[in-house]
Structure 1
Amino acid sequence: MSTKKNNILLIALLLVAQWAFSQTAEPTFYGKIVVDSASVENINVLNSRTQKATVTNAKGEFSMGVKIGDLLILSSFNLETKRKFVRAEDLRGELILLKMTLLANELDEVKVQQSEITAESLRIPTATKHYTPAERKVRTATTGLLDPLFNKLSGRTRMLKKQVLVEKNEKLLLKLDGLYEDKYYTDVLKIPNDYIGGFQYYIVEDPDFARALVDKNKTLTMFYIKKLAVDYVDLIKQEEAEAAKSTETQK
């Protein structure tokens, strides 16, 4: 009898655990990137809310845990960056096709610069610049004799500069964290609750807002965040309109 009770208790615990997991587990977004005449492998996919990232496989496919309203940022050194808002319709387990555009790979004309009188040439001591790890990689890739040319042709310099940008954005997000309550985003800025994380990533990419945030200028920060909120809400509406149009076309 006791064995039967133990089995029933065990089954009940397993059911409760399964239910709890289903409540906390994030749904999965399945995507496939499509690019004309270019490789779709190893394209970076970043969830701006969680800061988790993945890369596409040889077919351009990827999967990622998300929530409705998350902003996915798709990037590669040879492609134009694409942003994708996650909607409820995207989480039905179907593969979502995402079109990306190839960047024109133009090699700038090499110009011989005239020598200038600088503090370094006159051996005047100057303040030492401290580089972050990502900035040091960019400096290494863009100095020397032949390295800059090879790195530019291969796209490595562009990739390293993007790493610096991601690093700076992460620092800005830390400064922004806790600065405004969620209620301010939803009630004042009219940002849907599910889109708050994506909006935060969006605004730290704006140079004017980023400068005001670093300078701790509350007046300018408030001015720019309201302006950017209007633009962001418009982006959401455009995304929803395009999704509705795509649905009608498929019918």
Structure 2
Amino acid sequence: MNTTAGRATISDEEGMFSIEASPGDTLLFSAVQYRRKQLVLSASMLESRFIYVNLEEFVNELDEVVVRPFNLSGDLVRDMQQMKTEPVVTASTLGLPNAYVKPMMQSERLLKEASMGPFHLGMITAVPFNPLINMITGRTKMLKRRVARDRKYLLTQEVRNYYPDSIFVSRMGIPADRIDDFMYFCEVDSKFDSIVSSDDHIAILNLLLVKSKAYRENNQLD
């Protein structure tokens, strides 16, 4: 900045700059990583083609700061030992009977509702008509197919999350934008469910490698 003339400029990546100035003007150099420096221009300076200005690096050292109200030191182990925390309240810590029950999918809830059998109210046995109507209309059968489809989709997503995209692309030769299509290609294989349910990651990877070769051939990707 030419503080005398009230003009300013910014240097390029190599530190080069140009600014209008007259003899006696004061230039102020300022940057985050350097100390400020002032330079009064003389007539001989302006007659030179270039003026080289050396700046001194500036390191902003902060005073020690203590974070309150916990007085954290930055040592995670020590800080965790000193902190007082309340017990985690979950269904399992409370000993509730539904602690480890897997939540049903929407399709499973609909199927259960559609096929709900007789229930007893004291001395009276109530027989709902919904299961019979749903069976006649085919809704129960449709819901069973939806449950099976949703379960298979969850298995496919579980396998999809086992491996990063780079494995599909580099090792299996599957383009990144076709990974989901490739997973559907694997999903229809009769051995897919049993291998994935075994939770054997080596067997799952071998299956994907075999299927990737067939997928590339069918889609002419090689």
TM class by shorter chain equals 0.3 to 0.5
Q: Bigger radius of gyration, 1 or 2? A: 2
Normalising by structure 2, report the TM-score.
0.37
More helix by share: 1
Normalising by structure 1, report the TM-score.
0.34
Larger RCO (CA within 8 A; separation ≥ 6): 1
